[in-house]
């Protein structure tokens, strides 16, 4: 099969375009993975929790808000993936700069979705 210069050029452009789009897709995937690792690192660094205490590699999670005045937890999300709960935590804590630990009157914490909070029968739970 003889391929003329025009056909060869078109084939070469199509091949190069395919390689470029593949490289972009791989870079986007690596960037997203790096962003997720960065959010995980930030969460554990800021909250001072041991990463083994909350295994974000699998399962569903809930973001909860501690109201220090009333002594109550409130669910902020439905059960969601680790990526989604970390994004929600990041948004509500201004990238981990506020409302992140017990010393703040109100703060946010991530829990496994199957964690059941104690019910106080209407009594406030104090710090």
Summarised one tens digit per residue, pLDDT across range 37-66 is: 677 777 777 677 665 567 777 788 899 999
Q: What per-residue confidence (pLDDT) applies to 57?
A: 72
**pLDDT, position 79:** 93
On whether the CB atoms of residues 25 and 39 are closer than 8 A, the answer is no
Instruction: Please determine, for residue 104, whether its predicted confidence score (pLDDT) is greater than 70.
Output: yes
The pLDDT confidence band at residue 114, using thresholds 50, 70 and 90, is confident
The model's pTM: 0.60
Cβ 61 vs Cβ 50: under 8 Å: no
Q: What is the pLDDT of residues 6-40, one digit of tens each?
A: 776 777 677 666 665 555 555 555 455 555 667 77
**Which residues, other chains included, contact 49 with Cβ-Cβ below 8 Å and sequence gap of 6+?**
43
Judge whether 91 and 108 are in contact, CB under 8 Å.
Answer: no
Q: What is the CA radius of gyration of the chain?
A: 23
Question: What does the pLDDT look like over 87-97, one tens digit per residue?
Answer: 899 899 888 88
Higher-confidence residue of 60 and 101: namely 60
Check if the beta carbon of residue 106 is closer than 8 Å to that of residue 65.
yes
3-state helix, strand, coil in the chain (%, to 5): 45, 15, 40
| Domain spans in the chain, listed from the N-terminal domain onward | 5-112
Q: In what order do the strands lie in the sheet with 107-112?
A: 72-75, 61-67, 107-112
């Amino acid at each position: 099969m003889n391929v003329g210069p025009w056909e060869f050029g078109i084939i070469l452009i199509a091949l190069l375009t395919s390689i470029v789009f593949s490289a972009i897709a791989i870079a986007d995937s690596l960037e997203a993975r790096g962003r997720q690792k960065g959010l995980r690192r930030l969460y554990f660094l800021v909250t001072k929790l041991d990463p083994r205490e909350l295994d974000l590699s699998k399962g569903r999670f809930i973001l909860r808000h501690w109201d220090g005045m009333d002594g109550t937890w409130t669910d902020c999300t439905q059960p969601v993936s680790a990526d989604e709960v970390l994004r929600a935590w990041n948004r509500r804590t201004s990238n981990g700069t506020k409302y992140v630990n017990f010393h703040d009157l109100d703060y946010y914490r991530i829990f496994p979705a199957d964690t059941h909070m104690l019910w106080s029968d209407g009594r406030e739970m104090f710090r």
